[in-house]
Every structure is written in structure tokens, then in C-alpha cells.
């Protein structure tokens, strides 16, 4: 089994901007530069034979040509009493949503059983420990809510593997797909 997802990497200049915001919140486990990406579709644990089918199906998702998206704002996932993840949001973008839908459809055609959830594009910045002070989380979000990146050009996406370790996830690009 191999843990897979389709994603867009974050360019170095935007990663620099995000890294500068990754401080000032005790209890946050900040994501490293090599872990910053925008997930298009999460496939989870996939059998190797099915992974080959997925890789082939993703080539059909690589259509429509290059486009741009913009990171905008920050937020947190979790319930009102316990937030678990800090993220940078994405300005609404039809081309991004279409590409994510094509990546999801590729997984379904390859027979990958995927979670049913709405697509909410974001870049995960940190995971939060349960004891993280909610007031500090709110203050951090208020201090960074005006985040706006320059347009990020997308001319390819990738199929990535993920290995979980005690130091966090380690990602490896398995295949790239030019748009």
C-alpha cells in the first residue's frame, strides 16, 4: 500500500511569505517548507497496482492549460471548541475547482475509494496541540487574516506519496502532469 494525493507545490517566494507567518502561537506544530502544498485530491492508502492505474488516469486530468490562483486569508479547521489545523485559504477559482474535480474523477475511475467531502482548497500551515489556547489561535488568525499572495502560476500538478513518521509526513513526488 502507498499513501497518495494529487497536489500543487507552493513556489519558493510564496513559501517564504508563509514561513514568516509561522510563529507566535505556542502549541502549533508548523509545517516545513517541503510540506507546503495545495491538495487537489487525497487518495489515501492505495494498492500498488491501483496506484499505477491512478497515475495513468491522472494524465486525463491534465487538460485546460496553465492558470493562476491566489492564496487569501487564514483560518482554522475544527469545531468551535477545539481547532486542530491552521491554514492559508485560496481565493475562489473555477479552474482550480475543475482540476480538483478531474483529479477526484481520476481516482474514482482507477477504483480508489475516496472520502466524500466538499473540496475546500487550502495550504496547511500548522497542526495544533489540543491544549493550544483558543484566544491565542484567534489572535494569530486576526494578525494574519490579510494574507494575499501574488498570483501563483500553475502549469503542472503532481502525484505525491506520503510516509507518516514521528517528525510528520514526508512527501515524494511520484509523477508530474503538465497542463
The number of domains in the chain is 1
| Segments of the chain with pLDDT less than 70 | 79-82
C-alpha to C-alpha distance for 113 and 127, rounded to whole angstroms: 26
Domain that residue 50 falls in: 2-178
CA distance 126 to 32: 9
User: How many other CB atoms sit within 10 Å of the CB of residue 153?
Assistant: 10
Instruction: Return the exposure string of 63-101: e unless at least 16 CB atoms fall within 10 Å of the residue's CB, then b.
Output: eeeebebbbebbbbeeeeeebebbbbbbeebeebeebbe
Cell of 33: 517548507
Phi, psi values for residue 89, rounded to 5°: -85, 175
Per-residue pLDDT, 80: 58
Element at 95 (helix H, strand E):
helix 94-109
Q: What CATH code is carried by the domain that includes residue 135?
A: 3.90.1140.10
Q: pLDDT tens-digit profile of 91-126?
A: 999 999 999 999 999 999 999 998 888 899 999 999
CB atoms within 10 A of CB 16: 11
* pTM, rounded to two decimals: 0.92
Please give the helix or strand (H or E) that residue 102 lies within, else none. helix 94-109
Amino acid at each position: 500500500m502507498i499513501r497518495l494525493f494529487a497536489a500543487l507545490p507552493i513556489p519558493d517566494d510564496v513559501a517564504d511569505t508563509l514561513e514568516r507567518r509561522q510563529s507566535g502561537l505556542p502549541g502549533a506544530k508548523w509545517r516545513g517548507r517541503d510540506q507546503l502544498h495545495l491538495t487537489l485530491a487525497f487518495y489515501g492508502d492505495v494498492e500498488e497496482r491501483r496506484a499505477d492505474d491512478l497515475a495513468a488516469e491522472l494524465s486525463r486530468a491534465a487538460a485546460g492549460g496553465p492558470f493562476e490562483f491566489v492564496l487569501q486569508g487564514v483560518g482554522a479547521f475544527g469545531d468551535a471548541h477545539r481547532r486542530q489545523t491552521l491554514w492559508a485559504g485560496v481565493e475562489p477559482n473555477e479552474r482550480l475547482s475543475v482540476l480538483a474535480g478531474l483529479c477526484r474523477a481520476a481516482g474514482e475511475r482507477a477504483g480508489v475509494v475516496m472520502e466524500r467531502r466538499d473540496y475546500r482548497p487550502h495550504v496547511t500551515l500548522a497542526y495544533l496541540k489540543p491544549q493550544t489556547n483558543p484566544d491565542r489561535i484567534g489572535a494569530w488568525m486576526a494578525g494574519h487574516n490579510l494574507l494575499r499572495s501574488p498570483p501563483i502560476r500553475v502549469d503542472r500538478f503532481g502525484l505525491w506519496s506520503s510516509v507518516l513518521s514521528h517528525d510528520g509526513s514526508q512527501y515524494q513526488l511520484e509523477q508530474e502532469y503538465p497542463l
